[in-house]
Amino acid sequence: MLRFGTDGIRGRAYKELLPDDVIALAQAAAEVLNPSTPVVIGRDTRESSPDFAAALAAGFSAVGVSTVDMGVAPTPAVAWAAAHDHTPGAVVSASHNPWSDNGVKLFSPGGRKLDDKIQAALESALDDANRSTVSIIGTPQRTSDGSGLLQKYQDAVASTAHFDGRNLHVVVDAAHGSATAVLPGPLQAHNVTVTVINAEPDGRNINRHCGSTHPEAVAQAVREQNADLGLTFDGDADRVLAVDHTGELVDGDQIIAICAVDRHQRGQLPGNTVVVTVMTNLGFHRAMAQRGIHVVTTPVGDRHVWAALQDGDWGLGGEQSGHVIFPSLATTGDGLVTALQLLEVVARREMPLHDLATEAMTKMPQVLHNVPIDPESIDSDRMSAAVADAEKILGSRGRVLVRPSGTEPVIRIMVEAETVETADSIAHELVAASQHWTTYP
């Protein structure tokens, strides 16, 4: 039974997620979204992605809905195309997960992620036992070539920033994923000297020891090439992290802080407000408070950030993971747009990224553990007691967050404190409290 997580549906390809599931999802999406124009489909570079993209096309075709195939394309490229043509979009990707996983993300007409109400309607439609099944093989395909949209997307992204980067040398890690289809064009359009690494996808190397889940890869390349900074994308290029010239990580919190402070100083931060999630570092909150910038906090997931941005008519928000949203520039988190906005600040301020990050905020030590666990086996009383004990120890000098992942079968345990030793000690106590749970082998 398919259910939506934090970011679409996701599971082990051909085991937890089957082509037949994706066909059914396409049919349900056609029923709920009722598209009047062809649905745009894109995919990442996983070995299974062509099959699942074909399953989407078959499902839509079976109920009379045409599709446009963008091929390998970043998730935000599909969102842009959906906004450009005011049509639904679908992306085959499992983002930062291993190559053996896959998933589907859906966009409503206009290029926005589905809200809770639409997702519930889709799940209800998927539960319809009377739904007919079709096969990928032999199903008439109502699909047209959408590869030309990819260049239009790159041009649109390049136009979101205005700076001359001729003095910048940037190393970019494409994670052997969707970013390989669009790099280095948008950065070179601003005269940036670009070195691209990990841009040779083979179907099984996406995110493997590279990309935003392994920023050490771009950090090493930056140091070896004496570059000014590095940028590292996830598998579907909707998020980006950075490293400075020393190879030190500049995460999503810091990127948002840099952009928020810059816009605030120039009077271009609507409502003097920024939207972040519960995972955002406490140091970010303290830095924004010192500057008179209001912070709104949402649950994890960039669609929640987007909803808050729209409700408040604000202009900047995102997640520590590198999902950053500029509503005036894109309808979803876009790693390329974020990269260009960050580079624009670096170029305009004529300051190294290291100095900008230091000026923007001071990170509090944060320890995060991902505990493999079956969510159904959680002893909530025991964990609540352990969290309460930890919060008494920390008081106002830190915080604890324990939550199930919406994309993986893990529980995320995060502790912030004034020293890394304290954070690490409390985090280990919480992990120990979870060990009686049934874990995955």
- What domains lie within the chain, and their CATH numbers? 9-151 (3.40.120.10), 152-248 (3.40.120.10), 250-360 (3.40.120.10), 366-433 (3.30.310.50)
Cβ within 8 Å of residue 145, ≥6 positions away: 68, 69
Other Cβ atoms closer than 10 A to 204: 13
With vertex at residue 334, the alpha carbon angle to CA 16 and CA 53, rounded to the nearest 5 degrees, is: 35
Separation between Cα atoms, residue 181 and residue 89, nearest integer Å: 18
pLDDT value of residue 366: 87
Confidence band of 436 (pLDDT split at 50, 70, 90): low
What would the mean pLDDT of 151-163 be, rounded to a whole number?
Answer: 98
What one-character DSSP code corresponds to residue 8? B
Report how far residue 203's alpha carbon sits from residue 45's, in angstroms, rounded to the nearest whole number. 6
190-203 pLDDT, tens digit per residue, is 999 999 999 999 99
Does position 376 have pLDDT exceeding 80, yes or no? no
Range 220-249 average pLDDT: 98
Q: Which tens digit of pLDDT belongs to each residue from 318-337?
A: 999 999 999 999 999 999 99
For 362-376, what is the mean pLDDT? 82
List the strands of the sheet with 324-325, edge to edge. Answer: 294-298, 273-277, 317-318, 324-325
pTM of the predicted model, to two decimals? 0.89
Give the tens place of pLDDT for each residue, 169-227.
999 999 999 999 999 999 999 999 999 999 999 999 999 999 999 999 999 999 999 99
Percent of the chain's residues with pLDDT above 70: 93
Q: Is residue 245 pLDDT above 80, yes or no? A: yes
Position 433 pLDDT exceeds 90:
no
pLDDT at residue 361, rounded to an integer = 97
Q: 4: pLDDT confidence band, cut at 50, 70 and 90?
A: confident
b/e code 78-92 from CB counts within 10 Å (16+ = b): bbbbbbbbebbbbbb
Check if the beta carbon of residue 70 is closer than 8 Å to that of residue 31.
no
Predicted pLDDT of residue 147: 84
Residue with tokens 């003097």: 272
HSE of 282, CA atoms in CB hemisphere, 13 A: 18
Query: If you count DSSP H runs as helices and E runs as strands, how many of each does the chain have, helices first?
Result: 14, 19
Distances (CA, A) of 287 to 81, 267, 332: 36, 18, 25
pLDDT score of 375: 58
Residue 39 CA to residue 57 CA, distance in Å, equals 9
Q: CA 181 from chain center: how many Å?
A: 17
**What pLDDT is attached to residue 116?**
85
Could you give phi then psi for residue 241, rounded to 5 degrees? -115, 165
CA distance 223 to 300: 33
Beta bridge partners of 426: none
Residue 440 confidence (pLDDT) above 60: no
The tens digit of pLDDT for each residue in 72-87 reads 999 999 999 999 999 9
- pLDDT of the residue at 439: 41
Exposure string for 12-43, b = 16+ CB within 10 A, e = fewer: ebeeebbbebbbbbbbbbbbbbebeebbbbbb
Average pLDDT of the residues of the chain: 91
Q: Are 228 and 205 in contact, with CB atoms under 8 Å apart? A: no
95 among known catalytic residues? yes
Position 19: which residue type? Answer: P
Confidence of residue 435 (pLDDT cuts 50, 70, 90): low
On the question of pLDDT at 441 being above 50, the answer is no
Phi-psi region of 163 (alpha: psi -120 to 50; beta: other; left: phi over 0): beta
Residue-wise pLDDT tens digits, 95-130: 999 999 999 999 999 999 998 899 999 988 888 745
User: Average pLDDT of 308-320?
Assistant: 97
pLDDT class of 309 with cuts at 50, 70, 90: very high
Between CA 115 and CA 340 the distance in angstroms is 28
State mean pLDDT over 145-155: 93
pLDDT of residue 402: 87
pLDDT at 437: 45
pLDDT at 130: 56
Q: What is the pLDDT of residue 60?
A: 94
Q: What is the 3-state secondary structure (H, E, C) of 409-428?
A: CEEEEEEECCCHHHHHHHHH
Q: Name the token pair of 120.
A: 């519930």
pLDDT band at 438 (very low <50, low <70, confident <90, very high): very low
pLDDT band at 346 (very low <50, low <70, confident <90, very high): very high
**Which of 278, 197, 287 shows the shortest CA–CA distance to 233?**
197
pLDDT tens, 273-290?
Answer: 999 999 899 999 999 999
Inter-axis angle of helices 252-265 and 282-290, to 10 degrees?
10
Query: CA nearest 46: which of 230, 234, 246?
Result: 234
The contacts of residue 154 (CB under 8 Å, 6+ apart) are 182, 185, 186
Of these residues, 48, 95, 212, 434, which one is catalytic? 95
DSSP class of 437: S
pLDDT of residue 6 exceeding 80, the answer is no
Q: Are strands 249-250 and 67-72 parallel, antiparallel or unpaired?
A: unpaired
Mean pLDDT of 386-413: 84
375 neighbors 264 (Cβ within 8 angstroms): no
* pLDDT computed for residue 69 by the predictor: 96
